[in-house]
A and B are shown apart, each in its own frame.
Chain A
Amino acid sequence: GNSVTQMEGPVTLSEEAFLTINCTYTATGYPSLFWYVQYPGEGLQLLLKATKADDKGSNKGFEATYRKETTSFHLEKGSVQVSDSAVYFCALSPTGNQFYFGTGTSLTVIP
């Protein structure tokens, strides 16, 4: 079946620290992979995506590389800011009209 497992939270970091949020997946075929971000009181919004193996998605200083050999799509950022405090969701889409989400990882960045 299809599923996403992501790092348990919550995660608390100091400003300018390095961020990694782990995400691994199980899927049939060659899914597209996504990171969505949810700011307080808002809906989810797309942060970045990758559609094939070895692709790197990037946006707002965040990066994630599609690793088929390890079935992973870890989210990284070199220097987090207070404004990055949010809940981050890893997701996959095996077919284009089906989406599977992880449970979310809450990030708090303190000044």
Chain B
Amino acid sequence: DAGITQSPRYKITETGRQVTLMCHQTWSHSYMFWYRQDLGHGLRLIYYSAAADITDKGEVPDGYVVSRSKTENFPLTLESATRSQTSVYFCASQGAGSGANVLTFGAGSRLTVL
């Protein structure tokens, strides 16, 4: 199916554990983004990627690691989860051509850290 998919949709983990959230897009878009959504803060950018093997920090990168070995995948890893990382995480990709300058979002991954 065409689009952008995130997995898992729901995850419960414990403090100190490593967690990886997956993001896959089928359009070969160059730019991809990870946001977290928290009440009162809206969306905050964690990391973004301009292309395979090119990533950069956003507004709130501490505690997160990303990689992008293939254009279509952009996983987000919490190396040692903390309770403050309980949030809803959204992956997005940016269109090209007539869809340029528009973000398309995945359905989100709700992470709870106990």
Contact = CB atoms under 8 A, between A and B. Distances in A.
Interface of A: 32, 34, 36, 41-46, 49, 51, 89, 93, 96-97, 99, 101-104
Interface residues of B, number: 22
Contacts of A41: 107
Given A45-B105, A46-B103, A97 B31 contact: yes
A44 B90 contact: yes
Given A43-B108, A97-B31, A51 B101 contact: yes
B102 interface: yes
B42 interface: yes
A44 B105 contact: yes
Secondary structure call for the B interface: strand
Contacts of B85: none
Interface of B: 31, 33, 35, 40-43, 45, 48, 50, 90, 92, 94, 100-108
Nearest to A42: B107
Contacts of A34: 102
Contacts of B102: 34, 46, 49
